[in-house]
Amino acid sequence: MNSNIDSVQLRELHFELLYPAARIQARVEAIGQALSQSHAGKNPIFLSILSGAFVFASDLIRCYQGDCEVSFVKLSSYSGTASSGAVQTVFGLGQNLSERHVVVVEDIVDTGRTLHYFRGLLEEQQPASITVVTLLRKPDALEFPVPLDHIGFDISNLFVVGYGLDYDGLGRNLPGIYQLKEQL
Ligand code: IMP
């Protein structure tokens, strides 16, 4: 990785800063506060979709005030900078979610395929409620209907890295979010 605050190179691609860490943290705190109110006394279970959402989820649960549980599901549909078009469950839903208040934590909604598929799996378990939180959404890329309760930021259709999101395995450790520089 070759990086400074404003730009980073990952393999052959150049990215520029979109959201610095402080801006992200302010949004995460606001969403955490809203969930603390809406889910007070419900002992929600936060289901973080791996790998990309692990950083967001770890910050979000620390902004949640009250009892909660945390679990992880691994789904994938991306290869490089383009969706592969198929969602594969790599490992998943170990526990019974029936009658539980579930908060799904996603890093980014692109086509919506991943969340659309996952919501179907979740609904089979008949939870008491499903609340969906995504840090990022690309409205111009959306192809599948996905109800979202909290969105950190709406972004353009450019590939992004950082704060858990990767390009070819790299960039997850960047504290800010960086977007692909458009070729001139
Ligand atoms: P979707 O199924 O097309 O909505 O894609 C969702 C998944 O693709 C996310 O959970 C990410 O893992 C990955 N993804 C989509 N867009 C990006 C991006 O811009 N950067 C990194 N990963 C992305």
pLDDT of residue 163 exceeding 80, the answer is: yes
Determine if residue 99 is left, alpha or beta; phi over 0 gives left, psi from -120 to 50 gives alpha, anything else beta.
left
Residue 84's pLDDT is what? 63
Distant-in-sequence, close-in-space partners of 35: CB < 8 Å, separation ≥ 6: 44, 60, 64, 103, 131, 133, 150
Among residues 107, 110, 149, 154, the one annotated as catalytic is 110
pLDDT of residue 167 exceeding 60, the answer is: yes
Contact criterion met (CB below 8 Å) for 131 and 35: yes
**Number of other residues whose CB lies within 10 A of the CB of residue 32:** 18
Q: How much distance in Å is there from the Cα of 110 to the middle of ligand 1?
A: 5
pLDDT of residue 143 exceeding 70, the answer is: yes
Domain boundaries, the chain: 21-176
Q: How much distance in Å is there from the Cα of 40 to the middle of ligand 1?
A: 30
Residue 93's pLDDT is what? 76
Q: Identify the residue whose tokens are 């840090």.
A: 135
Measured CA to CA, the distance from residue 57 to residue 62 in angstroms comes to 9
Q: Is 149 a catalytic residue?
A: no
Report whether residue 56 contacts ligand 1, using a CB cutoff of 6 Å: no
Regarding the domain delimited by 21-176, which CATH topology (the fold level of the hierarchy) does it fall under?
Rossmann fold (3.40.50)
pLDDT of residue 2 exceeding 70, the answer is: no
Residue 135's pLDDT is what? 98
Atom 22 of ligand 1, nearest CA residue: 165
Residue 91's pLDDT is what? 73
Give, in order, the Cα–Cα distances in Å from 124 to each of 54, 69, 98, 113.
Answer: 24, 20, 9, 17
* Token output for 174: 């960047």
Atom of ligand 1 nearest to the CA of 159: 19
* Token output for 65: 């005030």
Measured over the CA atoms of residue 90, residue 177, residue 116 and residue 113, the dihedral's sign is negative
Pocket test for ligand 1, best of 8, 54, 78 (most atoms within 8 A of CB): 78
Write out pLDDT tens, residues 60-103. Answer: 999 999 999 999 998 865 556 666 667 666 577 777 899 999 99
Describe the chain by its helix, strand, coil percentages, rounded to 5: 25, 40, 40
Atom of ligand 1 nearest to the CA of 165: 21
Atom of ligand 1 nearest to the CA of 109: 4
